[in-house]
């Protein structure tokens, strides 16, 4: 949930810059457009990881126990998903450029992702139709991988599936983001 809210909403920070022209002025500098995008995304991923570590320290104080290696790999997986979601968020902000449109579309996408991802309750415990729907949600596979990692079940196939999905989301987002940034004022 932290990954979804932390990085998917990152585009809100770009909207005021688009409105007041400061983003356009950045594009006029000799700085690589790809570096401008990746710098923003990596900043958001670092913030995401710091928040996740603070949260993990807090819940550990209340008795949460997880595999140390699983937590480290889980944080890496979260970072990869964060790169993809953050990049998509910035792309959406650059396309829509208006807060209310951005917010409406983002909520339309994020809420079903959360509700069908198994974040709140494992989908196996829900009705069969909901479980089937959840299989089409990429976040579901990452959530399942994170659960397996934190439990220390390193041979669980959900880890490979969730990792592949997170990498695919990041690669797709970065390829679209880099292409879009290169076309701006080119």
Say how far apart CA 77 and CA 104 lie, in whole Å. Answer: 28
Q: What's the pLDDT score for residue 74? A: 96
Say how far apart CA 169 and CA 83 lie, in whole Å. Answer: 8
pLDDT mean across residues, the chain: 90
pLDDT digits (tens, 9 = 90+) for 129-186: 999 999 999 999 999 999 999 999 999 999 999 999 999 999 999 999 888 877 765 4
Say how far apart CA 140 and CA 133 lie, in whole Å. Answer: 10
pLDDT digits (tens, 9 = 90+) for 67-117: 999 999 999 999 999 999 999 999 998 888 888 899 999 989 999 999 899
Query: Two tokens at 117?
Result: 């991802």
Query: Which positions ≥6 away from 175 have C-beta within 8 Å?
Result: none
- 49 pLDDT band, cuts 50/70/90, is very high
8 in Cβ contact with 88 (< 8 Å): yes
Query: Two tokens at 160?
Result: 């490979």
Say how far apart CA 93 and CA 80 lie, in whole Å. Answer: 20
Q: What's the pLDDT score for residue 185? A: 54
Q: What's the pLDDT score for residue 22? A: 82
- Identify the residue with better confidence: 15 or 155: 155
Q: What's the pLDDT score for residue 23? A: 80
Check whether 31 has a pLDDT greater than 60: yes
Is 51 exposed, middle or buried, given 0-12, 13-18 or 19+ CB atoms closer than 10 A?
middle
């Amino acid at each position: 949930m932290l990954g979804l809210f932390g990085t998917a909403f990152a585009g809100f920070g770009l909207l005021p810059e688009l409105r007041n022209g400061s983003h356009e002025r950045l594009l006029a500098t000799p700085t690589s457009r790809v570096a401008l995008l990746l710098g923003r995304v990596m900043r958001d991923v670092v913030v995401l990881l710091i928040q996740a570590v603070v949260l993990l320290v807090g819940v550990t104080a209340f008795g949460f126990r997880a595999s140390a290696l699983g937590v480290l790999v889980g944080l890496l997986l979260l970072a990869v998903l964060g790169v993809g979601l953050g990049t998509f968020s910035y792309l959406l902000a650059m396309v829509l450029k208006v807060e209310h449109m951005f917010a409406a579309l983002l909520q339309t996408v994020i809420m079903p992702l959360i509700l069908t991802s198994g974040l709140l309750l494992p989908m196996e415990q829900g009705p069969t139709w909901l479980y089937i729907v959840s299989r089409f949600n990429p976040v579901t596979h990452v959530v399942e991988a994170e659960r397996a990692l934190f439990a220390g079940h390193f041979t669980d196939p959900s880890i490979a599936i969730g990792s592949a999905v997170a990498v695919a989301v990041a690669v797709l987002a970065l390829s679209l983001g880099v292409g879009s940034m290169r076309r701006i004022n080119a």
